[in-house]
Structure 1
C-alpha cells in the first residue's frame, strides 16, 4: 500500500466516530418530501465548516416544468432547497460530482419498527432509521471523503462538486435543477446504496393508471351486470405474462437476473363503491419497467398495444376498452459504458482497497443517474454503502463497515480522478 492510500485509510479510521455521529444526526432529522430544509441546513453548515463554497439553491419548479425530464411529483414546490458546494481545483484536470439526495420516503406503520423510525440508533455495527441506507450514509461518505482529504492537506487540480439534492424519490427535481442551472463535471458518482457494487446502468420506470369498466347492478342479480373486478383479473394475469414475454427477448450480462430487469408491478387497486353492488369500475395503478436502450415512448406503446390486443379477445372488454393513463414518475433508463474511464478508475480503486474485483451490476430502479447521462452528457455511476432491499422498509439500516469502505474508496477516487498534491 502506498503512503497516500495508507494515510487515507488511517484518516478514515481516525474519523470513524465523527462520521457515525454525523449520520446519526441527519437520520434523526426527518426529511420527507417537501420538508427537507432542516437537514439541508445541517449539511450546508458542515460544508461551510470545511471552508467550501457552499450555496443554498432554491428548487424553482417554474424553471423546470418545460424540461423534457421534468416530473411533477405532486408535492408543493415551496421551500425546497438544494445544497451545492464546490472545492475549486488549482489547474487543468478532470472534475467530479458527488451527488446524493436527502428526501426520504414515508415510514409506514410505526408499529412495524422495533424503535422510532428516526432513532438513528447504533446496534451491532448498524445505524437504524428511515434514510440511513437510502441514502444519508452514502451522502455522508462523500462529504467525509472531502473532509478527510482536506485534513490531510490535499490540494486538488480538478474541481469537486458536492450536491445534496431534494426530490429524487419522486421525480428528480433537485438534480434536474442543478443540471438546468449549468452544473457540469467530467463524471458523477451518485452515492446510492449499492452494497458497494458499481452500477453504471439503471432501468427506467413509468407510472400508469389502468381503468377497467364493468356494468353495475344489484349484487342479488349479479349475472345481469359485469364485474369490473373479474375483467381486471383477466387483464392482471395477462400483464404477468407480458412481463415474461418482454424479458424473453432481452439479453444482458450486466444484471443479476435477466428476467428481472424491467419489472411490472400493480401497487394499488380501487374497485366499486358498495359491497352489495357489482363493481362498475376498477382503477389499478402500477409501474412499468423500461429496459436500458428502450425509450419511454416505446415502452408505453408496447404496453398499450398489448392491453388492447388482450382486451379484444374478451367479448365485454372488446366493446368497453380499458383506458391507460401515464402520470407522475416517468423515469427513463440510463447507462454509462463499461469501458468509460470513470468505471475503469473506480473499479481499479475498489480492487486496491478491498483486495477483490468490483462487481459491476445494473439496477432495476430509477435514479438520478439517468438525468446526468441523458440530459447532461455526464458519465455516471451509482456507488455507495447499504443494501437497497432495506431502503423503504421498516427497520431500515446501513452497516458501519460499508460506510467506512465507501468513504475510503471515494477519497481515493477524488485523488486519482481529479489529481492534485498533498501539502
Structure 2
C-alpha cells in the first residue's frame, strides 16, 4: 500500500504565518505573551491538547501542544522560538505587515528567525488533522521564547517535562537544508588596563587602544584546541562585538586623550567535543552560552528528513555542518545536551535572515510544510488513513 499525502492549503498556510508575523513579539516584552497566547488558541481550535506554560516566575511563557497518537509509534518534537529581535534601520516595508511582494517572499521582522519555521510545523499538523489522518506516535509542538537570551524557554519546557520525545526538529532558518552540527556560543569579556599619562608625556604611557588594535585581529583569527575532527574545527569562530575604553574604572569619556582601561565583549563558536575550558585557554575570561549540537548523518531522523526532502523536491537534501548555519547557537543544543535526544536543525528562511526587510521565500515555506508532513508520518507511524488517501 502506498500513501497519498494530503495537499497543503497554501492560502491557509500563508494566513497562519501572516497572523503570527503581525504580532509584535519583541523578546522580553508583552508581545511574547500575546504571540504564545495566539498560538495556544490556534492549537486549541485544531483539537490539540496543550496551552501556555509560564516560567521565570510567571513573567514569560511558552505555548506547547501535543497531538496524541494511538500508541506504538515514536514521538517527534518540533521546537522554535516566537520572540524576535528589534527592528533596525533600513526597512522599506511595514515590519509587522506580513506582506507578500512580487518576488514571492513574505516580509516581516522575525519571519525568518523564526516564525516561518514555527508556522511550518503548525501547518503540517493541521494539514494531517484536516485530512483525517491519525498517528501511532505523538507530535509535540513547542513554541518557546527566550532563545535570543540563550534558551531559557526551551530549558523551562525540558524541566517542566514537556519534551519527552524520541527525536526533535529545531526549525531555525537553514534554507531547508539539514544541519547536523552547530557551534556552541561562549560569551567572553577581556579587560585591558594601561598606564595613564598626560598627553604631553604619552611616550611613558601604555595605550590600551593601541594594544587592542593589535589584539582584535588576532582574536578574529583565533581557533581553539582539542577539536575532535577537522569538521569540528571548521565551526570554530571568534569575534569581538563590543569595545569600550575610558578613563578609570568608570570609563569616563569626557577626557578622550587618556583611555587606560578598555573592555572587549564578543562571542566564540566551538564544536561538539570542545568545551568552554578550551576557549578559556585562549581567552582570559569566558562564561557559558548556548550548547553545541551534533547528530550522525545515519540517524533515523536525518535519513527520514532527507527522504522527505527528496520526495518533495526531487533532489538530495544538502546535509552536514553547512556554513553559515553551523555558526548558529540554537535551542537544539539544549535538547541535545540536557536530554541526549537525536534531532536535526531544518527550517525555511535564512538567506534574508536578521536584516532590514527580513523575508522568506514562499516556495521554501510551503515545501517545508510538505516535508514536515512526510517526516511526521514516517517517524510517528500511521494509525488511520482515509480510504481516498491510500493507493494499492
> Same fold per TM (> 0.5)?
yes
1:14-55 per-residue CA deviation (whole Å, 9 max, x = no partner) reads x11111112112112111111201111111111001011122
* Residue ranges of structure 1 left out of the alignment (5+ in a row): 62-77, 305-323
Q: Aligned residue for 2:347?
A: 384
Relative to structure 1, is the Cα distance of residues 248 and 139 closer, same or farther in structure 2, using a 3 angstrom cutoff?
A: closer
SS at match of 1:85: strand
Partner Cα distance (2:23, 2:310) in 1? 35
Would you say the 8 A contact 1:102–1:164 is kept in 2?
yes
How far 1:85 moved relative to its partner? 0.5
**Matched position secondary structure for 2:378:** helix
Aligned: 1:217 with 2:197: yes
Partner of 1:159: 138
2:237 aligns with one of 234, 257, 263: 263
What's the secondary structure of 2:289's corresponding residue?
A: strand
Kindly indicate whether the alpha-carbon contact (under 8 Å) linking 2:178 and 2:319 is maintained by their aligned counterparts in 1.
yes
* 2:111 matches 1:148: no
2:96 aligns to what?
A: 118
Give the alignment partner of residue 159 of structure 2, picking from 176, 180, 184: 180
Residues 222, 278 of structure 1: 8 Å contact kept: no
Q: Give the CA deviation at 1:3.
A: 4.5
Alignment of 1:40-79 (within 5 A): 40-60=36-56, 79=59
| Residue of structure 1 equivalent to 2:211 | 231
**Are 1:359 and 2:321 an aligned pair?**
no
User: What's the secondary structure of 2:140's corresponding residue?
Assistant: strand
Q: Deviations over 1:363-394 (max 9, x none)?
A: 1111111111111121111111112x522211
Kindly state the Cα deviation for residue 276 of structure 1 after the two structures are TM-superposed. 4.3
Let me know the Cα RMSD of the aligned residues: 2.0
Give the number of aligned pairs. Answer: 371
Q: SS in structure 1 opposite 2:222? A: helix
Which stretch has the larger CA shift, 95-104 or 17-26?
17-26
Bigger mean CA offset, 149-158 vs 19-28: 19-28
The alignment partner of 1:330 has SS state of coil
- Map 1:10-409 → 2, pairs under 5 A: 11-12=7-8, 15-35=9-29, 36-60=32-56, 79-109=59-89, 112-123=90-101, 124-182=103-161, 183-243=163-223, 251-252=230-231, 259=234, 261-272=235-246, 273-300=253-280, 302-304=281-283, 324-327=284-287, 330-362=289-321, 363-387=326-350, 389-409=351-371
Residue 352 of structure 1: SS of its match in structure 2? helix
The separation in 2 between residues aligned to 1:240 and 1:391, in whole angstroms, is: 23
8 Å CA contact 1:215–1:278 kept in 2: the answer is: no
Asked if 2 retains the 8 angstrom alpha-carbon contact of 1:203 and 1:333, the reply is yes
Identify unmatched segments of 5+ residues in structure 2: 247-252, 387-392
TM-score using structure 2 length: 0.90
Q: Which whole-Å CA distance do the structure 1 matches of 2:120 and 2:149 have between them?
A: 23
Alignment check: 8 A CA contact 1:87 1:161 kept: yes
Q: Distance in 2 between matches of 1:97 and 1:228?
A: 49
Q: Which residue of 1 aligns with 2:389?
A: none
TM-score, structure 1 length as denominator? 0.83
Q: Would you say the 8 A contact 1:104–1:130 is kept in 2?
A: yes
